[in-house]
Amino acid sequence: MNRRTAALWRCAAAMSIAGACASGALAAQDEDRTRAEQEAVDRVVESHDRTLLLGGGTLMIKQAAIRSARKLLGEWGREAGLGGEWWDTAPQYRAAKAELLQVADDLIARRYASGVWLKEAWSEYTARELDGEQADSIATHFQTEGGQKLRMLMDWYMGEMVLFNYTFTDRFEYELKDSERELLALQREAQKRIPIEDIEFTSRYPDTFRFVACGPDSPYCPSLKYWRMLIYPLMGEIIRHIDAVSAEIEGEMRKRRPEVQRHIQAFKSAGR
């Protein structure tokens, strides 16, 4: 290899190394940007109090499970030739219902009340809707006194929207037997979070007022864009998850028919 060829090879090698270094630097910058954006999204999501959303959904799922248990026990009872006596007044019926509702409680704890699914969905929708700068702006404002009050109002109204959806569609009964525990737990948590009217809010927290009093499509005002994401796609995801868990519970209850059969047989034997 002559000197000229060797020099060309060295030059090519140097350019290759420089290119690799530049690509590596760009990749590192992209990784840092992605990490920073995800951290901002995480800060937004972690700012929220999900207690009322989880408590309201737990109540709705439990009530759906109670109706499913009654439907299945009635169906299986009729097929076994049982009459109107096969109801809550019979200890065998109560025992069978308790078994089915335990299935519901176990699934609620695992598939809903843990809140893991909600945090994942919230993060996904927030990352899809906001860029890193917008997410950082919201997370930072939520740390201010006015921002905390704004966030508390968001959490309250989202919790109310769950109850409204199931009340409006006739799937929430205030006095439904066997859901008293879940209702009381929700009431206790809601009592701690009832918003207090503040007629001086705009003058007391002018920065927060400016944070929300702007056009929803303004790139410099992500708060309304974020709220719109919460009440439409995220709330839809929450309702779908509640309904999916309710359907899953009924499916699991149907699998317990062999275990319930002994209670039906005991009821029939007691009536002889």
38-85 pLDDT per residue, tens: 999 999 999 999 999 999 999 999 999 999 999 999 999 999 999 889
What is the predicted pLDDT for the residue at 34?
87
Using alpha carbons, select from 244, 247, 224 the residue that is nearest to residue 236: 244
Using alpha carbons, select from 186, 183, 204 the residue that is nearest to residue 194: 186
What is the predicted pLDDT for the residue at 4?
64
The Cα angle at residue 78 between residues 77 and 81, in degrees rounded to 5: 90
Residue type, 268: K
Sign of CA dihedral 70, 76, 79, 83: negative
Q: What is the DSSP letter of 49?
A: -
Distance between CA 157 and CA 155 in Å, rounded? 6
Over 80: is that where the pLDDT of 177 sits? yes
User: Mean per-residue pLDDT for 212-240?
Assistant: 87
Over 90: is that where the pLDDT of 212 sits? no
DSSP, collapsed to helix, strand or coil, labels residue 95 as helix
Q: What is the pLDDT of residues 152-168, one digit of tens each?
A: 999 999 999 999 999 99
SS (H, E, C) 81-114: CCCCCCCCCCHHHHHHHHHHHHHHHHHHHHHHHC
Distance between CA 59 and CA 181 in Å, rounded? 9
What is the residue whose two structure tokens read 């008293």?
180
Size of the chain in residues: 272
DSSP, collapsed to helix, strand or coil, labels residue 185 as helix
What is the predicted pLDDT for the residue at 22?
56
User: Mean per-residue pLDDT for 171-175?
Assistant: 95
Residue 249 contacts residue 101 (beta carbons within 8 Å): no
What is the predicted pLDDT for the residue at 24?
62
Number of domains comprising the chain? 1
What is the predicted pLDDT for the residue at 25?
56
Residue 113 belongs to domain spanning: 3-270
Q: Using 50, 70 and 90 to split pLDDT, how confident is the model at 238?
A: very high
Residue 182 contacts residue 52 (beta carbons within 8 Å): no
